[in-house]
Amino acid sequence: MFDEDLELQRTYRCTYRASQSESRWLMEILGPLYVDWWITDILRVVKAGKEATVYVCRAHPSRDLDLIAAKVYRPTAFRTMKNDAIYREGREMLDDRGHVVADRRLERALQKQTRIGKATQINSWIEHEYQNLSVFHDAGADVPEPYLHTGNAILMEYIGAEGYPAPVLQSVRLERDEAEAVFERLLENVELMLACGRIHADLSAFNVLYWEGQATIIDLPQAIDARYNPSALALFQRDLERLGSYFRQYGIEMDATGRALDLWARYAATDRGLHGY
């Protein structure tokens, strides 16, 4: 431990000008990644949300990467998450190693919302995002490639260029042919996810990045298992309705409800056993 502390002091660098409290927090969460040769510098904030902040970091030369995105969840994340219960229905609680929580003491802590119970909730939320990214990336969906999950942080593929992070789809203006291509590919992604038995459950133009003609779907901690969540079909329909609403400005029309029901029926006929079928 002493040697690791010395190594961290020697290698830690943060070009990003963080406040004193944020700097301590970043060193605690991301510091070990310097020692483990993942990153060499924290450059800037890409996105600051209520639950987490995404930083762009310089990758260690041994990683054969230039930049890495680090999504870091705040310890108080669940104080701001008011409507997450719908996503946790039918979902197993996971510990920070990805194992299902089967400890009665932890189960009681979760029920009573003690400090340990809240920490377990945050760990589970982060672990689910990492697993969702892994499942979708392996299936060929357009999501950032996940590299590592450690503590309150997930390291993943950075989308954009240095100094120019990819904007969200909501903030860009597309040509009609670009819009059609992006729309069709996003629908393919929705189907790919459903083929994995999962649903993004909060998909909109605000959590799709657009860079060099390609859309990348982000923000996946709430993605649900369609087999066990009783709200799965309703959330799936909402995803398609939101996509349809955004692309309507380009003259692209879609029967969101009909498309959702058709896809649902198709995959319900497989061994996925989607909820409600």
Q: What is the CATH number of the domain that holds 177?
A: 1.10.510.10
| pLDDT tens-digit map of 206-226 | 999 999 999 999 999 999 999
d(CA 18, CA 161): 22
Listed range (11-20, 84-93, 160-169) with the worst mean pLDDT? 84-93
Are residues 179 and 60 part of one domain? no
Closest CA to 42 of 64, 15, 21: 15
d(CA 24, CA 108): 32
State the burial class of residue 151 (Cβ atoms within 10 Å of its Cβ: 0-12, 13-18, 19+): middle
* Domain presence at residue 274: no
Strand positions, DSSP E, the chain: 39-48, 52-59, 67-73, 146-150, 153-157, 160-161, 164-165, 198-199, 208-211, 214-217, 224-225
Are residues 231 and 115 part of one domain? no
Q: What is the mean pLDDT of residues 41-55?
A: 93
Q: How many independent structural domains does the chain possess?
A: 2
Q: What is the CATH number of the domain that holds 31?
A: 3.30.200.20
| pLDDT tens-digit map of 127-137 | 889 999 999 99
Are residues 154 and 17 part of one domain? yes
pLDDT band at 199 (very low <50, low <70, confident <90, very high): very high
Last residue within a domain, chosen from 135, 161, 187: 161
Provide φ and ψ at 132, rounded to 5°.
-60, -45
Last residue within a domain, chosen from 161, 191, 207: 161
pTM (predicted TM-score): 0.87
| pLDDT tens-digit map of 59-78 | 999 999 999 999 999 866 55
Position with higher pLDDT, 126 vs 204:
204
